[in-house]
């Protein structure tokens, strides 16, 4: 999600992008709080179980179908991101005819690494890879601030950027900004894990 933010920001105005990001952050925070409260009160340990406890079996089935298509689309998008992000990095270190610069070969190499991570029986098994991902994002943000932070105010591109831009680009930015902040499908499972570790109800779930 963070990797797509620059493109989303480029499709709308500066202030427009900031306001939309704050709006989606507030909406996502509130809806996550609702999920946490529901999990604490029902004892549900997954999104599906919470759906069944609150809405019944019929709507739980509808929820599962929606989760399938949402997860499938997200995974396809992530695979595309893997290819698009790794290829430019490899170009700095390998010859132009290197096999893995072909996106289809790179995808075939990436699949054996990614598929086992998708098949783990419990989400806590992904603790190491999740921590590595968070550290990578922190490194990326620190690198951007270090390299370009001092030039942001004086850069011509920044000065010439519109504050508001109402055109078709808005409809490109909206789903990116919304999707980037979503973690609802795993939140119930993670929050239940925190609940079990603390032996009580964390503040966010009260």
Per the CB < 8 A criterion, the answer to whether 29 and 204 are in contact is no
Nearest alpha-carbon partner for 4 in 173, 184, 186: 173
Task: Report d(CA 2, CA 78) in Å as an integer.
Answer: 12
**What is the reported pLDDT for 26?**
93
Q: In which residue ranges of the chain is pLDDT below 70?
A: 1, 100, 149-159, 193-206
Task: Report d(CA 20, CA 74) in Å as an integer.
Answer: 21
**What is the reported pLDDT for 198?**
56
Per residue in 166-187, pLDDT (tens digit) is 788 888 888 888 888 888 888 8
Per the CB < 8 A criterion, the answer to whether 163 and 15 are in contact is yes
Per the CB < 8 A criterion, the answer to whether 164 and 18 are in contact is no
Tokens of 143: 């690198």
**What is the reported pLDDT for 134?**
84
The whole-model pTM stands at: 0.70
Task: Report d(CA 89, CA 101) in Å as an integer.
Answer: 10
**What is the reported pLDDT for 196?**
61
């Amino acid at each position: 999600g963070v990797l797509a933010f620059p493109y989303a920001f480029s499709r709308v105005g500066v202030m427009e992008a900031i306001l939309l990001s704050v709006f989606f952050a507030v909406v996502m925070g509130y809806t996550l709080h609702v999920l946490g409260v529901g999990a604490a009160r029902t004892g549900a340990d997954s999104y599906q179980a919470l759906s069944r406890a609150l809405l019944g079996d019929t709507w739980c089935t509808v929820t599962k179908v929606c989760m399938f298509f949402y997860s499938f689309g997200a995974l396809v998008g992530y695979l595309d991101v893997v290819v698009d992000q790794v290829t430019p990095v490899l170009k700095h270190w390998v010859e132009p005819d290197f096999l893995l610069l072909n996106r289809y070969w790179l995808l075939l190499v990436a699949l054996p690494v990614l598929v086992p991570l998708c098949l783990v029986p419990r989400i806590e098994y992904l603790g190491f890879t999740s921590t590595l991902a968070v550290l990578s994002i922190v490194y990326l943000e620190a690198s951007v601030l270090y390299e370009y932070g001092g030039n942001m105010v004086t850069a011509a591109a920044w000065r010439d950027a519109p504050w508001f831009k109402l055109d078709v680009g808005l409809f490109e930015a909206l789903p990116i900004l919304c999707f980037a902040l979503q973690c609802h499908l795993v939140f119930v499972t993670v929050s239940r894990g925190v609940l079990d570790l603390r032996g009580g109800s964390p503040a966010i779930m009260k």
